Structure 1
Amino acid sequence: MEHKRKKILIICNSSDTLMNFRGKLIESLVLQHELTVFCPLITRLEIRNSLLKLGVMIEENQLKPSKVSLFSDLNYLCELYRLIKRTRPDLVFPYAFKPVIYGTLVAKYCGVKRITPMLTGLGYNFSMDNPAKKWWSIVTRMLLKLALRSDSALRVIFQNKDDLKLLMHKHIIGKGTAAFVVNGSGVDLNYYQYSRPSPGPVGFLMISRLINAKGIREYYEAAKQMKALFPEMRFKLIGADNDNVDAIDRSLYQALKSGEVLEYYGAVTDVRPYIKDAAVVVLPSYYGEGIPRSLMEAMAMGRAIITCDHVGCKETLNHGDLPSARFSNGILIPIKDTAALVAAMTHFRRHPEDIISFGINGRILAKEKFDVNIINARMLHILQDA
């Protein structure tokens, strides 16, 4: 089917994810449409060059996606308003929390004909336990309800069914709103290629920003217990330590950096060598995930996974002919349960054959459910269908 060439504005909260998470989708869209991205300052030259090479127009801002700043957010709203009035897009596609709220509200106000926000998880906004920060969750929910109020121009995309059900239950999204579910951002199976885990001591890897709800402390404590029992085992952690409302405390950060329990590498531009060097990838998250990118990448490369029975995370486990806590490609554990994480890690040390078989099954599931080409075909249909 041919589609009329449109002006599309993509709004996101991180320039680093543009090509890694949305690169294939952008490549497909730019073949038929005129694209502009509105994103925080691009610091990596290769990302800027890739976008420019594709013919994508770049507009940058100073958004702080994980920080509460009234002045910064108001300035962002004004910049967004001026951009939409100047470029007059036919379609606005915001993804991630702040861009979804602000992008949708401004696009509605400016009379944009098609607005397709995508919620890549709900973050802390429906699970914040800290009373001092709960007020922000309340404000955010009110703004989200206002943004997602039923409108003929609106189509909302979710990355798991639980988020859609929750927002309907909370009356934040109405039954009359056009809503769609896709299996995360997808993973490029040609880029994340299968490799058989190396024999030898079992190595574990966690890929995550250093925030509490991702389960950083649980991973650290489990690694500490495991190292005391099995000194030969290796535990690695990669991910940025950024300014976040839920950032880990500095004492834990210093413990990570010390290298006494695990190897912390900070943020990296290519996770593939680290996944290849690991036997099992761990994400003990109780964050409001969409579908965790790190687990999809691990599965694509043939790695067994350990993750929590929590929204988004549980979507990466495939049911097999195994006991209830075990699946054909990994082990599911309760949230905030270090003992269960230790038990899951111990299982893979005692049963190294599961590392191989679970990894193969994970690759198969990635092909069936998380292939970026399958997901992007659905995304293009949602975005382009008039």
Structure 2
Amino acid sequence: MDNKRKNVLIACDSSHTLLEFRGKLIEELVKGNNVSVFTPKISRQQVRDKLESLKVTVYENDLNGSNVSIFSDLKYIIQLYQLIKETKPDVFFPYTFKPVIYGTMVAKLCRIDCITPMLTGLGYNFTDSGKKNKLVTAITKMLLKFSLRGNKGIRIIFQNQDDYLKLLKTGIIGRQQQAFVVNGSGVDLTHYDYSIPDTLNISFLMISRLINAKGIREYYEAAKSVRHKYPEIKFKLIGSFDNNIDAITLDLYSKILFDDTLEYIGSVDDVRPYIKNASIVVLPSYYGEGVPRCILEGMAMGRAVITCDSVGCRETIYNSAEGRNGFLVPVRNVSALASKMEYYINHTTDIISYGINGRHFAKEKFDVNLVNAEMLKIMNVV
């Protein structure tokens, strides 16, 4: 084993993910390496303070991961090229689409020895939604293929097997390339404590940005249907309404805000109190997830779940002779979603037993320490 401290550069498209999704990984990396991050501007002081306490060097940029801007993207590429030439990282770890595509191309150009791009889900670009911009999708696929090809130092990380097989099938990567599948971003079981769900005052909780492919409309319509029969049941929604290519319509947003179907909470810094107060966690997503973090958080806290039989989401459902932790429903199927909601309303003991099973499943498969141990091996820093 090489005991020399390595220089690790991390690139992301959103500063809030650095600690929320990669915090424990960064804590492991700094134990034996010099770590830097290239991130969009950090708006939350606690994020900046934590990175400083970990002795992580921060370089900021103006990248917008959700929007298409040739000028902004070109500026990002130039800044990253200059940064890599200046810092000379031994390991370059980009995650999410733009940092993966642009960062991997730049890192290859700069001859970085170990490049470990991680695709945290394929998003809109590999779904069948007719609303997305087909030209942008075609360009994204072409750039992804170009960036990931032709370098022995590239070790591609996926968060589910479906994404790996999809890129093989579409010819974006080949079987000769180094590829690894890890169990999502993992979940910190010491941070998300188990608690017994309330089965007397049943409530459902969805945590998601307000975009169509996350299943916001399906959740709203299913909640409306269920509340017609069970008006005492509560449905809550956490998440921001962003300027996004797939943002929900203003009409739906208005209904969420002003009618009594959902209790809209908006963005929160800590989801744990809301999960604790919920009976079941729901995510009817067909977005193209890696492994959805909100479902892992719900499982860790002992919550039964309902999600879609879609890429990434299906990884979170455990069903065997020993028991199960939740349900998969077909995508965009409001009646199936409402039916599973009603199942929990009429089988309250399963809310508890499925939640216990979910906690065990999270511990067995998604514990962040297990996931990070794999990540460190892939990155060649252990």
Structures share fold, TM-score greater than 0.5:
yes
Residue 371 of structure 1 aligns with which residue? 367
- AA at the equivalent of 1:184: G
Q: Give CA deviations for 1:48-90 in whole Å, capped at 9, x if unaligned.
A: 0000000000011111111111111111111111111111111
Q: How far apart, CA to CA, are the structure 1 residues paired with 2:103 and 2:328? A: 36
Q: How far apart, CA to CA, are the structure 1 residues paired with 2:71 and 2:340? A: 45
Of stretches 27-36 and 1-10 in structure 1, the one that deviates more from structure 2 is: 1-10
Give, in angstroms, the shift of residue 128 of structure 1. Answer: 5.1
Residue 314 of structure 1 aligns with which residue? 314
Matches for 1:161-240 after TM superposition, within 5 Å: 161-240=161-240
- AA at the equivalent of 2:380: Q
Give, in angstroms, the shift of residue 130 of structure 1. Answer: 3.0
- Verify the 8 A CA contact 2:318 2:361 in the aligned structure 1: yes
Residue 339 of structure 2 aligns with which residue? 343
**Is 2:359 the partner of 1:334?**
no
Residue 283 of structure 2 aligns with which residue? 283
TM-score when normalising by structure 2: 0.98
Q: Which residue, out of 349, 354, 358, partners 2:350?
A: 354
Q: Give CA deviations for 1:188-210 in whole Å, capped at 9, x if unaligned.
A: 00000100012313100000001
Q: How far apart, CA to CA, are the structure 2 residues paired with 1:5 and 1:177? A: 27
Give, in angstroms, the shift of residue 320 of structure 1. Answer: 2.0
Give, in angstroms, the shift of residue 150 of structure 1. Answer: 3.2
Alignment: residue pair count: 382
Matches for 1:123-138 after TM superposition, within 5 Å: 123-127=123-127, 129-130=129-130, 133-138=133-138
Matches for 1:2-81 after TM superposition, within 5 Å: 2-81=2-81
Q: How far apart, CA to CA, are the structure 2 residues paired with 1:333 and 1:152? A: 40
Q: Percent identity?
A: 56
Q: How far apart, CA to CA, are the structure 2 residues paired with 1:89 and 1:82? A: 12
User: SS at 1:291's partner residue?
Assistant: coil
Residue 100 of structure 1 aligns with which residue? 100
Give, in angstroms, the shift of residue 385 of structure 1. Answer: 5.5
- AA at the equivalent of 1:267: S
Q: Which consecutive unaligned segments of at least 5 residues does structure 2 have?
A: none
Q: How far apart, CA to CA, are the structure 2 residues paired with 1:199 and 1:72? A: 50
Give, in angstroms, the shift of residue 321 of structure 1. Answer: 3.2
Q: How far apart, CA to CA, are the structure 1 residues paired with 2:319 and 2:150? A: 36
Q: Give CA deviations for 1:300-322 in whole Å, capped at 9, x if unaligned.
A: 00000000001100000012239
**Is 2:295 the partner of 1:295?**
yes
User: SS at 2:124's partner residue?
Assistant: coil
Residue 112 of structure 2 aligns with which residue? 112
- Verify the 8 A CA contact 2:199 2:351 in the aligned structure 1: no
Q: Give CA deviations for 1:150-176 in whole Å, capped at 9, x if unaligned.
A: 311100000000100110111101111
Q: Which consecutive unaligned segments of at least 5 residues does structure 1 have?
A: none
- Verify the 8 A CA contact 2:309 2:330 in the aligned structure 1: yes
Q: How far apart, CA to CA, are the structure 1 residues paired with 2:132 and 2:341? A: 35
- AA at the equivalent of 2:361: L
Displaced runs of 4+ in structure 1, greater than 3 A? none
User: SS at 1:157's partner residue?
Assistant: strand
User: SS at 2:241's partner residue?
Assistant: coil
User: SS at 1:124's partner residue?
Assistant: helix
- Verify the 8 A CA contact 2:124 2:132 in the aligned structure 1: no
Q: Which residue, out of 370, 375, 381, partners 2:377?
A: 381
Give the 3 Å change call, closer, same or farther, for CA 128–247 of structure 1 in structure 2: farther
